[in-house]
Structure 1
């Protein structure tokens, strides 16, 4: 079995993550899972020996039964945050991708559900407006404006919280 590119110490966790920025009709594809109260972009952790692109493509096959094409990361983000009383350092690669045909565009409700390893994931299109993004907990908040207006390639950003 492959190992995720992450590790934990007694005081903190380190993650490598790849995610897709998929925009359609002024909405952004987001996901969450039961037990948390925030949304994030679909993707996941590459496995040892996988590139961030290979890991992202695998996650989309596994989670959405979909194929995506990406080339260079649009945003590389290093973030430091706390979650459930634990400290995290995450290195994330955000890639722009077109919406796969398997992913329905619907608003106001979930467009896809997934049960994986005891977790229930939900996918939803969230409107890309400052007002809506202010009222929904889409993480990381520091990237909201960059999801609305895509930066030139590539943007490297470091943020705390």
Structure 2
């Protein structure tokens, strides 16, 4: 069971995401119905630690075996999505894989979940040209921190 629940006020979501950088490109994804991009990952399962969650999510979504390098950010994000208020707690991990050649492509592609999610290796120097959430990632991905950072985003983005 995913660690997500809805109250009268908002939806709480516990999420993990992976920062997979190859040759100055970062892997992003978006739902086919959305116009914004995000880092691949997913919800944490209750009773599962976040490192196990990110490895599981990449296996489920792409069939990729990834290694967790280190935790880069924890993020408390407050936003509105499709008219619903969200309070999201997310862990962002730098990841790598020995299978990079199998996944690094110049064109967009679909994962194992069919045509629901579009994946794209985005050149990092072009990341300001797209809509990426949470917004702190645009600068964060350009300058990966040497230590774990905790970020609270109360911008109340509406997507």
TM-score, normalised with respect to structure 2? 0.89
Runs of 4+ off more than 4 Å: none
Match of 1:40, SS state, is: coil
In the TM superposition, 1:30-49 aligns within 5 A as 30-49=28-47
Normalized per residue, the structure richer in strand is: 2
- Following TM superposition, by how much is the alpha carbon of 1:143 offset from its aligned partner in structure 2, in angstroms? 2.1
Q: Deviation at 1:71? A: 4.8
Structure 1 residue 111, shift from structure 2 partner: 3.7
Residue 82 of structure 1: how far off its partner (Å): 0.8
Aligned to 2:140: 146
Tell me the equivalent position of 2:77: 79
CA contact (8 A) 1:114 1:122 kept: no
> Does the 8 A contact of 1:24 with 1:99 survive in 2?
no
Structure 1 residues 83-103: Cα deviation after superposition (integer angstroms, max 9, x where no partner): 111111111100001145164
SS of 1:7 mapped into structure 2 = strand
Report what 1:93 is aligned to: 91
CA distance in 2, matches of 1:159, 1:114: 31
Structure 1, unmatched stretches of 5+, are: none
SS at match of 1:74: strand
Q: Deviation string for 1:59-106 (max 9, x for gaps)? A: 111111111111541111111111111111111100001145164222
Of 128, 133, 147, the match for 2:127 = 133
- The two structures have a TM-score, normalised by structure 1, of 0.88
Q: 1:110 to 1:100 in 2, by over 3 A?
A: farther
Aligned residues: 154
The answer to whether the Cα contact below 8 Å between 2:69 and 2:96 also exists between their aligned partners in 1 is no
Counterpart-to-counterpart distance in 1, 2:12 and 2:111 = 27
Most deviating of 27-36 and 95-104: 95-104
Task: Give yes or no for contact 1:114–1:120 (8 Å, CA) kept in 2.
Answer: no
Contact 2:13 2:43 in 1 (8 A): yes
